[in-house]
Amino acid sequence: MNVLVVGGAGYIGSHCVRQLILAGHRPAVLDNLVFGHRAAVGPEVPFHRVDLGDEEAVGRVLDAERPDVVMHFAAFAYVGESVTDPLKYYFNNSVATLHLLRAMLRRGIRRFVFSSTCATYGVPQGLPIVEGMPQSPINPYGQTKLDVENALKALSKAHGLSFAAFRYFNAAGASPEGGIGEDHAPETHLIPLAIAAAVGQGPPLKLFGTDYPTPDGTCLRDYVHVDDLSRAHFAVFEALATPGASLFYNLGTGIPTSVREVLAAVERATGRPVPVVEGPRREGDPPALYADASKARTELGWQPEYEEIAPIVETAWKWHRDHPHGFADR
């Protein structure tokens, strides 16, 4: 398949590009590099530095690449910032996505894969989270993703768009082959922050809340390896061949892992203690979020290769050890 990977210079998108190539597909990347890294995409992959909101320029890329499928990873994803600057999020995550979709439909491109998030569930009504549970985001970031999901449903009905919206849980780890990994600035994700703290490249890790009703008092989350996430994106291709397919899948391992368990895995991988500063709970952090991903397993035959936190953290550590300054080292 010819695949246009929008946001393909980012963390998950660049891993997906690599997995697409390994599976025999032909990816091209569109990214404005607001956060992504040019070096995260190999020189053999066509690269278009374009802003998603520039519909004419996006149209020119679609004309040049003639993709069978468009995968859309591009978004802003800082939950706190989405609360203080919601317009930035509505424009980049919702409005710009509508431009992309209109440019696609005008050209008869009708297969779409979308990066949604477990944040669309808000505080879940039960655990593990299943796709049919009510979606009630508690911040603008989650709302922008739910808005796109709803637009996709409408476009599917009206225009026969076939789409899959993947609700990711916590993407983690890095390609075991090396050379690409997580490099966000600022970084807000637990594993890279804990690694940076362990090796003295960052401040002590702030642990928000030690009195949750969980086995060790810290939050439980569902960490899914970035390569496993990526593989789901082409496992769905066959299903997208049906016009008007309207598909929603959770992507997680289904294994709840506490913050303290992640820190222990980082300590084992790095061989160093993670300095920690304990503080009160952070507003808007539910005690536990983990997926029931049996729909993706049954319908797509998707099976995560990584289930335990230790091997996931080891791949993240390998990336950091070999590239202590991220893509700046390349």
* Residue positions annotated with a catalytic role: 141
Where helices occur in 273-308 by DSSP H, the ranges are 294-300
Nearer to ligand NAD, 74 or 155 (CB): 74
Binders of ligand NAD among residues 68 to 127 (CB under 6 A) are 73-75, 77, 92, 96, 115, 117
x/- binding map, residues 23-42, to ligand NAD, per CB under 6 A?
--------xxxxxx------
Asked if 317 interacts with ligand NAD (CB under 6 A), we say: no
- Name the DSSP class of 10: S
Spatial distance between the Cα atoms of 287 and 282, rounded to a whole number of angstroms: 11
Taking CB under 6 A as the criterion, the residue among 53, 179, 202, 311 binding ligand NAD is 53
CA distance readout (Å), 154 to 71, 132, 140, 163, 294: 18, 18, 21, 11, 26
List binders of ligand NAD among 272-311 (CB under 6 A). none
326 touching ligand NAD, by CB under 6 A: no
Non-local CB neighbours of 209 within 8 Å, separated by 6+ positions = 217, 218, 219, 279, 280, 281, 282, 285
* Nearer of residues 168 and 212 to ligand NAD, judged by Cβ: 168
One residue of 3, 5, 13, 89 binding ligand NAD per CB under 6 A = 13
Closest CB to ligand NAD: residue number: 10
Task: List the structure tokens of 302.
Answer: 């998707």
| Contact (CB, 8 A) for 168 and 118 | yes
Interface with ligand NAD, residue 11, by CB under 6 A: yes
Q: How far is the CB of 211 from ligand NAD (least distance, A)?
A: 25
SS3 at position 100: helix
- Mapped onto helix, strand or coil, the DSSP state of residue 115 is strand
Footprint (CB under 6 A) of ligand NAD, residues 165-224: 168, 170-171, 184
The SS3 of residue 322 is helix
> Pick from 1, 51, 187, 268: which binds ligand NAD (CB under 6 A)?
51
Q: Is 132 exposed, middle or buried (0-12, 13-18, 19+ CB in 10 A)?
A: exposed
Of 184 and 268, CB closest to ligand NAD: 184
In the complex, the residues that contact ligand NAD under the rule CB under 6 A are: 7, 9-13, 31-36, 51-53, 73-75, 77, 92, 96, 115, 117, 168, 170-171, 184
